[in-house]
Structure 1
């Protein structure tokens, strides 16, 4: 895929094995400005994760993002159809001006709860956001990558690692086209 060749930053862990996330020196509350407004999206999603699946599902969606909290946050609405059923997702992104880290929270019409945030920052128009999580009973690290080098056509992607970041499986890509 388009941004597979981008390197994921090396992960650091504390003495207890917990993931340490630090902001890039250029991180700012304006990092997501490229995403304001409406986008049309082509999604490519692995049918199954972390099982050597090679079957991709492709579907269209739309998304609209607007800023909140005097510019230190933003919200977007993601609209799609899965298996003939309407689906709605929502992302809340908050910038901490002290740590210079973004926290990204997701919820959708299936769960109605905010997921544990992925946390990170941008450098050179590419953002990496990480979290430790549980997937099907196993501890994983996930990364969200925002590639905004082409700000009219940004790419969001997601990967998981079951081995503390030694290897990654990319499992979802969103190829966006700004419609406003």
Structure 2
């Protein structure tokens, strides 16, 4: 059984999110780190047990954190330039399955990350795009949620490759501030 202390969340949330840059049309400009590589996600290959901590906003704008367990299995594909994983959990008493497809573009040196799940049955577009630097990856996309334009960032913190942390945040002000809404604490 995983015992969550909150220290890992605090340590991860305190990492700075790199500044977000836009072109004259308002599109994201994403550049890879100098060390970006097709091997960035190799630490994640195999089977994982995950403790999830997810932010739930209530209609009265109060917030509540919900916690649940899941498992994930990741396989490297496409001769090393991609990987796919299977995320299994029970949410609200119902089985839930998600799938992530990560593809490394050798020309741009950027990762494109796509998500699909058993609730919607479609590939989530646009992908989040980015790279790792010093074992921490940041992946961004522009989204629209309930009529609001948002930026989304996924963070992969692999500084401890045996206990990586994935987290997600959104920004309503083009990346000036971020609201962290999901943390996944992984262990073998």
Which TM-score bucket, shorter chain as reference? over 0.9
Which aligned pairs between 1:22-61 and structure 2 lie closer than 5 A? 22-48=31-57, 53-61=62-70
Which structure 1 segments of 5+ residues have no match?
none
Kept in 2, the 8 Å contact 1:46–1:53? The answer is no
Show the counterpart of 1:14. Answer: 23
Shift of 1:53: 4.0
Q: Which 4+ runs in 1 deviate beyond 4 A?
A: none
Match of 2:160 in 1: 150
Higher RCO (Cα < 8 Å, 6 or more apart) = 1
The Cα of 1:52 is off from its aligned counterpart by 5.5
Quote how far apart the aligned CAs of 1:114 are: 0.6
Say how many residue pairs are matched.
Answer: 177
Matched residue, 2:135 = 125
Residue 28 to residue 60, structure 1, CA distance change in 2 (3 Å): same
Could you list the per-position Cα deviations for residues 120-155 of structure 1 after superposition, in whole angstroms to 9, with x for gaps in the alignment? 000000000000000111100000000000000000
Q: What's the counterpart of residue 136 of structure 1?
A: 146
Q: 1:30-69 CA distances to partner (integer Å, 9 max, x unpaired)? A: 00000000000000000129x8643100000000000100
- The offset of 1:19, in angstroms, is 1.1
In structure 2, relative to structure 1, the CA distance for the partners of 1:40 and 1:91 (3 Å cut) is same
What is the rounded CA distance, in whole Å, between the counterparts of 1:52 and 1:165 in structure 2?
A: 21
Matched, 1:94 2:103: yes
Does 2:172 match 1:162?
yes
Query: Structure 1 CA distance, aligned partners of 2:133 and 2:62?
Result: 31
Q: Unmatched 5+ residue regions in structure 2?
A: 1-8
TM-score by length of 1: 0.96
Equivalence for 1:174: 184
**TM-score (normalised: structure 2):** 0.92
